[in-house]
Amino acid sequence: MNTAVIFDIQRNSFVDGPGIRTTVFFKGCNLKCKWCHNPESQSAKPQIMFYNDKCTGCGRCKGVTVEASDFICFNDAKQLCGKKYTVDELFDIIIKDKMFYETSGGGVTFSGGECMLQIDFLCEILKKCKDNKIHTAVDTAGFIPWENFEKAIPYTDLFLYDIKAFNNDVHKEFVGVSN
């Protein structure tokens, strides 16, 4: 069964495309932008995020790992960032807001990280959305093989292309790779 690691799902969003949308944030990015808005998305694996300002030092979380099925922090000082979803599990969340998509001209946006790095899963969920008449958008930096675009194009209504820098030297310095 195909799965993807997702770090956030924002329902009732008014950004990342037209109308009311659900934005799905995939984990994993092949860029290292110095201004990254979602640094928790860079690693492709689930990870524990620690927020020192919320920690009371109670010690209940000692020994907690990403793999633990009973992961909990009563103060939210440690939070699990990234969860594996199947296409059906993710679609069950997306479809809940279909009436809002229809009345507002909205839909679903797949973002990240870089959602195009998990192309097989992305195409499966895109196709399922299209089969259910849900508008689809893909937010990408485009630093992926062209073949990934070719796979996604048939199921994508809108690409939001995130251009980082036009100048190659600036791109290398601030993004970590050539453009």
- Say whether pLDDT at 64 is over 80: no
- Say whether pLDDT at 68 is over 70: no
pLDDT in tens, 29-54: 888 877 877 878 787 888 888 888 98
CA atoms in the 13 A half-sphere facing the CB of 135: 20
Contact 99, 127 (CB under 8 A): no
| Terminal alpha carbon distance of the chain | 35
Rounded distance between C-alpha atoms, residue 147 and residue 123, angstroms: 12
pLDDT of residue 159: 97
Please list the residue range(s) of the chain that carry CATH number 3.20.20.70: 3-44+83-175
pLDDT in tens, 95-127: 999 999 999 999 999 999 899 999 999 999 999
- Say whether pLDDT at 92 is over 90: yes
Contact 30, 115 (CB under 8 A): no
Rounded distance between C-alpha atoms, residue 163 and residue 174, angstroms: 12
Alpha carbon 168 to chain centroid distance? 26
pLDDT of residue 96: 98
| Full-model pTM | 0.88
- Top pLDDT among 20 and 39 is at 20
Residue range 3-44+83-175, CATH number: 3.20.20.70
